[in-house]
């Protein structure tokens, strides 16, 4: 368990928050599910202040948003504030792929990290099972007479698995005689890209969950009419499978800060934030709540501001924008981040200032948290802070990986200076009544900085289908590379005069949005040449290593 011997029992964490014994269910000594009845009991209580943690365009190594989120919360607690965090659950695919574990790092982690990184309280398996039940019921409906005249060549709902497996990107099912079902092409998405995961994160309760599940578009009949999950009566069983998964999970940081970790939608494909239920629960129980949005401000933060806060009725009081000197070097084209290189930092600063501009455009004054690494030099640090000072940007260095909460006290005090009593009025990029194409253009030009948007013939066909189905006013959830502000991962810094290409637009009707695919984006990643899984093992006494 690593730091487990230092942890408080989960009952102590719950009691400290004012959660009654009948309002949580322990999953072992250090984890618990929190009942939805708690939110109903606290309905009239004033909300705390929500602070979003986002970042600059990440490097493949990541820049420490989760570690920073945990560390600044620990720092807030150390200066006497009532605080909690709301984070996404890790996916097994990244854990065993490039990224490794996703529970923070060093002295700023959520615990028990091994359990959280693996199956946790089985939310991910529940999402996968509910998703694949629907896939099975679709094929079963076709096999047993196809009363709805579903077109086997026009099924739009895929299968899912929580693992990076490129061989499942395109498959053929039903091979064999008629007892094997209809032979058709199919494909898998990784579980964090599943529409069911997005639905779990956006649902407000069981009735909302069932309604959203029933609204999933599964395909079209032979007359091109839409067919939904409710038409094959799948939503009830799916909701039953998700009954426990809908409840937020309560754990703690290594320094005892309460942590609600729930749902895990990807930030470059889905909306990239933890569940609305987790955030609302945390806001009723503590004065300050830190939550994280996946990848840079152009992805997670954009989606959080433009539609997640609307769907959830969430107010936001402040924003922390995480960067690092090694990230700025990468954006400036440096080959070795461990070597002093002020010139590359100077070039890479354009990426940081673009993200500062994005956050400001939504109405916020961000605090730039500079996540320190041992190879950062004084000359490099002075260059970055001088540039931020000249632009009127507040900043703080963070050493929470090395020092835990005490390494984030300056960061905590600085964000308190920027957070007012009233929430910030979010200046959203599009209006609900805008059609899908207008929304895409506004985000691409006003957030990414694109000069134009190009729609492929398939994307244009998708727009016509969206209009025909009466979904023209849907929210959009842009799917693009996280490594660039553009749709081309090789365009670093703050690119200009680029055109964004929309290759397709998929409908996630249950989640309440459509997903424009920009450039070459995959919903089923593959493992790298040397996957992190090679280093994971378990000892004879049951201790897991390598995560």
CA 76 centroid distance within chain: 23
Q: Is the pLDDT of residue 1 over 60?
A: no
pLDDT for the residue 99: 65
Nearest Cα residue to 200 out of 144, 146, 239, 158: 239
**How high does pLDDT run on average in the chain?**
94
- Output the CA–CA distances (angstroms, integers) from residue 445 to 428, 448, 501, in the order listed: 14, 6, 12
Strand-pair category, 32-34 with 288-292: unpaired
Average pLDDT of the residues in 44-73: 93
Dihedral of the CA atoms 197, 321, 420, 308 (nearest 10)?
-20
Nearest Cα residue to 268 out of 431, 489, 422, 87: 489
CA–CA separation, 263 and 120 (whole Å): 11
Q: Is the pLDDT of residue 96 over 80?
A: yes
Give the tens place of pLDDT for each residue, 467-519.
999 999 999 999 999 999 999 999 999 999 999 999 999 999 999 999 999 98
Q: How many CB atoms lie within 10 A of CB 177?
A: 7
Give the tens place of pLDDT for each residue, 268-319.
888 999 999 999 999 999 999 999 998 999 999 999 999 999 999 999 999 9
Q: Is the pLDDT of residue 3 over 50?
A: no
Higher pLDDT, 96 or 16: 16
Q: DSSP state, 304?
A: I
Token reading at 33: 């599910």
Taken in order 36, 40, 45, 49, is the CA torsion positive or negative? Answer: positive
The number of CA neighbours under 13 Å toward the Cβ of 165 is 15
Q: DSSP state, 479?
A: B
Q: Is the pLDDT of residue 343 over 50?
A: yes
The number of CA neighbours under 13 Å toward the Cβ of 292 is 35
Higher pLDDT, 68 or 176: 68
Give the tens place of pLDDT for each residue, 435-469.
999 999 999 999 999 999 999 999 999 999 999 99
Task: Give yes or no for a contact between 155 and 221, defined as CB atoms under 8 angstroms apart.
Answer: no
Give the tens place of pLDDT for each residue, 181-213.
778 888 999 999 999 999 999 999 999 999 999
Ordered domains of the chain (ranges, CATH):
4-121+245-418 (3.40.50.300), 131-239 (3.30.1510.10), 436-518 (3.10.410.10)
Give the tens place of pLDDT for each residue, 109-136.
999 999 999 999 999 999 999 999 999 9
Kindly report the backbone phi and psi dihedral angles of residue 360, in degrees, each rounded to the nearest multiple of 5, phi listed first.
-60, -35
pLDDT for the residue 4: 42
Task: Give yes or no for a contact between 260 and 201, defined as CB atoms under 8 angstroms apart.
Answer: no
CA–CA separation, 347 and 333 (whole Å): 8
pLDDT for the residue 433: 93
CA–CA separation, 441 and 323 (whole Å): 27
């Amino acid at each position: 368990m690593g730091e487990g011997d230092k942890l408080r029992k989960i009952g102590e964490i719950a009691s400290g928050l004012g959660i009654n014994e009948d309002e949580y269910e322990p999953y072992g000594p250090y984890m618990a599910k929190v009942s939805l009845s708690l939110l109903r009991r606290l309905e009239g209580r004033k909300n705390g202040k929500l602070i979003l943690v986002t970042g600059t365009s990440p490097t493949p190594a990541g820049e420490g948003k989760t570690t920073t989120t945990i560390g600044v919360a620990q720092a807030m607690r150390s200066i006497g504030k009532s605080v909690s965090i709301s984070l996404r659950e890790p996916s097994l695919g990244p854990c065993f792929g490039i990224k490794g574990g996703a529970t923070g790092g060093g002295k700023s982690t959520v615990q028990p990290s091994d359990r959280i990184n693996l199956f946790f309280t089985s939310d991910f398996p529940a999402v996968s099972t509910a998703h694949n039940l629907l896939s099975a019921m679709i094929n079963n409906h076709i096999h047993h007479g196809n009363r709805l005249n579903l077109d086997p060549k026009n099924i739009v709902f895929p299968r899912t698995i929580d693992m990076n497996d490129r061989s499942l990107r395109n498959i053929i099912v039903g091979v064999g005689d008629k007892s094997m079902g209809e032979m058709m092409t199919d494909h898998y998405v990784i579980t964090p890209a599943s529409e069911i995961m997005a639905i779990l994160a956006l649902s407000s309760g069981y009735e909302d969950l069932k309604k959203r599940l029933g609204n999933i578009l599964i395909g079209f009949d032979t007359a091109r009419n839409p067919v939904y999950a409710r038409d094959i009566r799948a939503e009830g069983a799916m909701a039953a499978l998700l009954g426990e998964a809908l409840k937020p999970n309560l754990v703690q940081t290594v320094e005892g800060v309460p942590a609600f970790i729930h749902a895990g939608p990807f930030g470059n494909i889905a909306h990239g934030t933890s569940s609305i239920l987790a955030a609302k629960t945390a806001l009723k129980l503590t004065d300050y709540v830190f939550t994280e949005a996946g990848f840079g401000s152009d992805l997670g933060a954009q989606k959080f501001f433009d539609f997640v806060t609307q769907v959830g009725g969430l107010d936001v009081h402040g924003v922390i924008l995480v960067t690092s000197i090694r990230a700025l070097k990468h954006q400036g084209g440096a080959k070795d981040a461990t070597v002093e290189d002020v010139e590359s930092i100077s070039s890479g600063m354009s990426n940081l200032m673009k993200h500062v501009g994005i956050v400001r455009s939504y109405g916020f004054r961000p605090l730039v948290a500079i996540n320190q690494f041992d190879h950062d030099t004084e000359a490099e640090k002075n260059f970055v802070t001088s540039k931020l000072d000249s632009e009127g940007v507040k900043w703080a260095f963070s050493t929470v990986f090395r020092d835990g909460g005490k390494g984030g006290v300056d960061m905590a005090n600085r964000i308190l200076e920027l957070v007012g009593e009233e929430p910030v009025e979010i200046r959203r990029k599009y209006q609900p009544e805008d059609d899908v194409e207008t929304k895409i253009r506004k985000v691409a030009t006003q957030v990414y900085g694109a000069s134009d948007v190009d729609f492929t013939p398939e994307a244009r066909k998708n727009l016509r289908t969206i209009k025909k189905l009466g979904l023209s006013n849907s929210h959009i959830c842009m799917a693009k590379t996280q490594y660039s502000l553009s749709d081309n991962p090789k365009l670093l810094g703050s690119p200009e005069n680029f055109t964004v290409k929309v290759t397709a637009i998929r409908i996630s009707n249950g989640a309440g949005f459509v997903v424009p695919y920009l450039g070459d984006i995959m919903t089923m990643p593959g493992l790298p040449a040397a996957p992190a899984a090679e280093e994971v093992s378990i000892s004879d006494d049951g201790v897991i290593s390598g995560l």
